[in-house]
Each structure stands twice: as C-alpha cells, then as structure tokens.
Amino acid sequence: MLAVMSVATIAPAIEVAFSGRFGFGIYRWAYLPFDVPPGVQSIRVSTSHEDFSVGVARNVLDLGIFGSAGYDLGNAAGFRGWSGGARDGFVIAANYATPGYLAGPIEPGTWAVALGPVVLSPWGMAWDVRVTLERGETVAECEPVVAFPPPPSVSGARWYRGDLHLHTVHSDGQRDPDEMAAAARASGLDFIVSTEHNTNSANRAWLTHRTGGLLVIPGEEVTTRHGHWLAVGLSPGAWIDWRYGPSDGVFPRFAAEVREAGGLVVAAHPSVPVPGSAWEFGFDQVDALEVWNGRWNLDDELSLRIWQRLLRQGRRVVAVGGSDSHGQHQQVGSPQTVVHADGLSAPAIVGGLRCGRSYLARSCDVALELTASGHGRVAGPGQTRSGGRSRADTAGATRRIGDGDRRDQRGPGHERCPDHRGGPGATGDGRPVSPAAMGTRRRVGGLRATRSATSAAATARGDGRVDQSGVASLRTLRHIHDAAKPTWWWQAVTSVPGKRQRCGQEGASPPSWGRCCWSA
C-alpha cells in the first residue's frame, strides 16, 4: 500500500487526510493511525475510492475504526465500529454514532481508521480518507433504556420459531430495529438473532427498543475473508474479531470464546459461490451449519450435502436456517428455525439449538412432527434412543400446513401458525408422547405418517422408494448411525416444493441414508 498523510487545523476542528493506492487482491487489512488530542468531542470520517466492476463483482473499501486502546487482534476494548462496504463515512461522538459504530467518550490518544480493500481491478485502486476531529463542549453519554422481558404468556416448554440470520442498518441492511421487529412479528416469529457484520452496535441498540414480546438474541456475523460464521448467544457488549484466515490458526480461540460465553458457532452459507464467503476453516470447531440461507438454491443443496457428510462421519452438527434478510425484497423468517426450548429466553433457545431439538421450515405455515419409536419408546428431533434392530421400529413424520390456531399463545398476528403444543414427541394428532431418546436402528425399514386434509403423508421402504400419498412434503430428512452403538440422531428440513420430485437413496448401507423429496 502506498499512502500519503497530511494534517490541517481549521479552528475549532482538525483535519487529517490520507490517500494512496492498493494493489490487486482482497486478503489484507490496513490501518491509518492518527492522534486525537484532549477536548475532541466527535470524529467524522469520509472516504472515496476508484470504481471498478465486472458483473456483480466490484472494488470495495471496507471501513471501520479502533480507539486509543489499540487495534491488535481480538482487542474488544479498542473496537469502536465497522460498516464494511455499506458506508463511505461515519460519525462517532459521546452520545451518538452512525449505526454500526459505538457512541462513547472520545479518549485522547492514537486512533486508527481500519480499511479492508477488495481490489478486483488489475490496475489497483486509488483511495482517499479524510478524518475530521471536532472540538466542543463536553456532552454527557446517554443512558440506555433496558427493554422489557417477554410477557409470561409466551413462556414455558414448547416449540419456538425464529430467524437466526438478519441484518439491519447497523451493517448492510435496510430496516431499522423497529422495522425488523415488526417484520419478524408479521412472519409469526418468537425470536430473532441479531447478526450484523463484524459489529455489536445493534446488540446495544436493541436494548433501547420495545419489541412487543419478540426475543432478540445478541449475535454477530463474523465476516472474514475466508468464510462467514454466526456467533449466536453473545452478551450485548461482546464482540468477536474477524481479521484472520485459516493459516493464522486463531479461529479455535474465537470459537472457544463464544462457547465459553454459552453461545454457538455456526458456519454461515458455507457453499455460497462468492469470493471470501465460502467456508475455509473446516468443521472441527463448528457447532452448527447453516444449510438453508434465504431462497433455496444450489449452494444450499451443497451445504446440505456437507451436513450429510459430517453426520456420516459421526459429527452431530446441528442444521440451522435463516433468511439472511437485508431488505424488503427478502422476507424475514423464510426460512426459519423451529426450536423446542424450556422457555422464550436466550439460554433456553441456544440450549435447544445446541441439542438439535429443532427443524427448519419455509414459513410459520409449515409445522413438522417427527418421531421414532421402538421397544415401547418414542423420541423426537435432536434426541437419541439406543436400541437393537427390530422390525417393529418405525419413524413417523407428519407435515402440517396452517392447521393450528395459536392466537391464545402468542397474541395478534400469529393466527396462521400451526400449533406445536404437543411438544417434541407429539403424535400425528398432537397427543404428547414420552420424550425418550431419538433414533431407531441401523437401517430404517419404514417411514410412516398419517394423512389428513392438511398433512403430508408418504411411505418409504428400505430400498429408498417412496409411495406418493400426500398433498405436500418434507423437503429433506436426515438420519445418522453411530458406529460405536446402534443409535440414530435425526433432524429435518421442510418446505413446499413447487413440483413433483423423485425420492431416492443416497450413500451405501449400512448405514442407510434416505433423502425424501416429494409433492403432489
């Protein structure tokens, strides 16, 4: 990087200007240090850079800032904000900051503008950065308003619906927090996870917003140049660094930080064909895999196959989904992750996800009941049941479309959502069953579901063939055999396919792998 710096004092402000040129490439970070004298009350930064694009690919100048505490790796005390390529400038003051940045005292010392150039032009990219330090009277910090907890009417053990991947104006989204909460409620969600790119500003901002009973779980989309991952279940002030690659060997450190705080590490859209977004860190430190991101596409199918491979290797990695919504053109809650939890709280939801007591659906109009039974015991998603092989063992799946009235459970705006009050081991008619461990045997000989006017039904034989008898279907069904003992662990992904699809058998046996996709 070639750079030039100049400083000018124009009372009562100080202006610092930087300019330079980056060469071709995307795997680098650059820092522009500048001194902040006592008495500065706000910092204003503006940038510009040369445009270049080929199709959807273009030059980008990612932008952020670190305070006087420093910008070394993992230094949460120094972090003061990040907007990536979504903005070309920002303001930070004691009582205000541009979304994506953290308001607070402007401490004297050496600060640094952080740049993340994405240079696709073979001729490089010229850039300019201007920093304005504004003096003035000391302004007191604003005290945050603590949000009200969810009302007691939505507490208790049952299924809860949520979106694990969302963006507001605090990164590169279009909605503000109030608009996001309204969209989530309109989609029948009980909770969402705040996952802004590389910043925790939204997690702090959510504390000042009434959400109408919607649970907002703090998180972050850790957006590295070698893949993105979701840190789910952070404290509002926690921040996870992103400035590393696989060769640095520090990903396990940050993954451990999330888990030690009670959170989950989720590999986001691991197969998306975008430079810097495909997952390169391996899966040893991953708790969950986002197999469904937004509208179902080929990269989701590839992610689903990665999940299948991990399961066959004995890794009980949890499958999750999220809309990754950035604006009105992407519906919040499509897809959504449905979690069985002891209550509507961040620890309970994260705990249910960690156990895999969940499934994925395109909307709140879709509900799934999945059970495995044998030897007098029945179990649901994310649970494990040990037992020997028996022809009496069966797995049952029922998909329901909008057949429940949950108005009494969740208030106005949720009438269309199917009723899950039967619990994780509910029968096809909603009657509760024993919460035994999940799984049946080395080879599943049957997949059975009762048919009704609003449910999908099909019968799968051991050879993988399926008899068509339903009006809609499961999108996919996965099960895994543990080589050490005859146990099975299940999760499912549901949707409404737009056309008739053929069911087949994937993989050799044992273990037997079934992938069922069917529709009327």
Which pLDDT tens digit goes with each residue over 397-443? 666 665 433 433 333 333 334 433 334 333 333 333 222 222 222 22
Flag the least confident range among 227-236, 408-417, 446-455, 494-503: 446-455
Cα(191)–Cα(348) distance, rounded to whole angstroms? 12
> Are 36 and 108 spatial neighbours (Cβ–Cβ below 8 Å)?
yes
Q: What is the average pLDDT across 294-313? A: 94
In the chain, which segments carry CATH 2.60.120.380? 2-135
Which single residue is written with the structure tokens 């590839």? Answer: 302
Residue 367 CB contacts under 8 Å (≥ 6 apart), including other chains = 159, 338, 361, 399, 400, 401, 403, 404, 417, 418, 419, 420
Cα torsion angle, 426, 431, 432, 434, sign? negative
Answer yes or no: is pLDDT of 152 > 60: no
Dist CA 375 CA 355 (whole Å): 23
In 23-146, DSSP assigns E strands to 30-36, 40-49, 53-54, 57-58, 60-66, 79-84, 89-93, 109-118, 125-135
pTM higher than 0.85 for the full model?
no
How would residue 493 be classed by pLDDT, with cut points 50, 70 and 90?
A: low
Helix/strand/coil for 405:
coil
Looking at the predicted structure, is the pLDDT value of residue 462 above 70? no
Residue 355: its H or E element: helix 346-355
Domain limits, CATH 3.20.20.140, in the chain: 146-364
Task: Say which range, 61-65, 397-401, 407-411, 474-478, has the weakest mean pLDDT.
Answer: 407-411
End-to-end CA distance of the chain: 59
Kindly tell me if the per-residue pLDDT of 504 is higher than 60.
no
pLDDT bracket for residue 32 (50, 70, 90): very high
Looking at CATH, the fold of the domain delimited by 146-364 is given as: TIM Barrel (3.20.20)
Architecture of domain 2-135: Sandwich (2.60)
The three-state secondary structure class of 397 is strand
Cα 452 to Cα 440: distance, rounded to the nearest angstrom: 25
Pairwise CA distance, residues 168 & 191, whole Å: 15
Give the torsion through C-alpha atoms of 498, 501, 503, 506, to 10 deg. -90
Label residue 105 by pLDDT band (50, 70, 90).
very high
